[in-house]
Amino acid sequence: MQRVEHIDYLKGFAILMVLLGHIFIAKAPAGMHYPFCEIIYSFHMSLFFFVSGFLAYKTNQIKEKGIVFFIKKRAISLLTPYLFWLFIAPYFIKNSYPTNIGELMSKFYFIPNLNYWFLPLLFIFNIIYLLYHKLTMGGGKNQEFKIYCLICFVGISTGLICKQYYIVVYTIYFASFMFGHYLSKYKLLELFIEKKYIYGSSAIILCIMWKFFPMESNGNNFLSLANLVALFICSYTSCIVFYVLFKQIHLAKPFKWYLSEMGKYTLALYLLPLFFFTKNFEWTNNYTHALINIEALGIAIVQSFIAYGIAKIIDEIPYIRTLLLGKR
């Protein structure tokens, strides 16, 4: 597949936001709130899933190579590195392994935090996407929209009725994934969101949400109804704003290079810092928010360059790159 330049920029930006989010969560003392962190957590994972959905349409090859090929390809790229960094790497590098069935099952903790939950969830999204593709084949746009609404309705209703609110969060992420799919598939939708009044109103709504309805990035309030509504609104508006921004903006060459290169190795930048860069200090009340933001950004950029360098080396070694990074 020919690379789409602004999508690489968007991927690079999204993974930088993920790194920043992880740093805030790892180093922030319990109960402390950082406005910049709350802004990041209102959109960074939705943006990541949005890009994944955009690329899913470009690369699905379901018609050409069939269902088995699609599932095998996604399993290799997502589940192979997931299982390696979850079980094999801790054993050989940290001499850490589960000693009983309880510890083993806890490894599959499926809640967004400092673990690898993104990979199996994205694999599940791809399986649902495969089912969606089969159900809507030949049905036209109306059929696609009906099935999409049905999936979202079932997900949100199940989460609310069963009081499993992370299912609602995952459904919002899936909605972002499918938004990326539609934007990739339908040129008219892309032209629509690029209209100044759509893009501008989305930016205004997003800024209003950040200012007056900040999201709780951790704790029980993360799953409150108000937070879930804020996440839904910020997910869609941020995808519109950042997609159009990175498509139309003229970046200086160093920024182009950084975002484009990091965008090519997002999985490595997601996996390696989570495994190697452990929590070694906490910010205190003596740190100003401005200082914390600057320090967090600096740490994230350093982490990204280290992970990028390691990924470039791994990328040259057949089989190892598949095992560690899911690349063929």
Q: Could you read off the pLDDT of 174-224 as tens digits, one per residue?
A: 999 999 999 999 988 999 999 999 999 999 999 999 988 777 655 556 667
Tell me the average pLDDT across 15-32. 80
Contact 48, 19 (CB under 8 A): no
For all residues of the chain together, what is the average pLDDT? 85
pLDDT at 86 over 70: yes
Q: What is the pLDDT of residue 34?
A: 75
Structural domain boundaries in the chain: 5-325
How far is residue 325's CA from residue 132's CA, in Å, rounded to a whole number?
27
* Mean pLDDT score, 147-164: 91
CA dihedral 158, 162, 166, 171 (to 10 degrees): 10
Residue 215 contacts residue 231 (beta carbons within 8 Å): yes
Alpha helices in 44-164 (DSSP H): 44-59, 62-74, 80-83, 89-94, 101-106, 118-136, 140-161
Q: Write down the pLDDT at residue 178.
A: 95
Question: What's the pLDDT at 158?
Answer: 93
Please give the model's pTM, rounded to 2 decimal places: 0.90
The more confidently predicted of residues 145 and 3 is 145
State the number of CA atoms in the 13 A half-sphere of 10 facing the CB: 29
User: Among 30-44, 113-127, 155-169, whose mean pLDDT is lowest?
Assistant: 30-44
For residue 232, the model assigns a pLDDT of: 92
264-319 residue pLDDT tens? 999 999 998 877 775 555 665 566 778 888 888 998 999 999 999 999 999 999 88
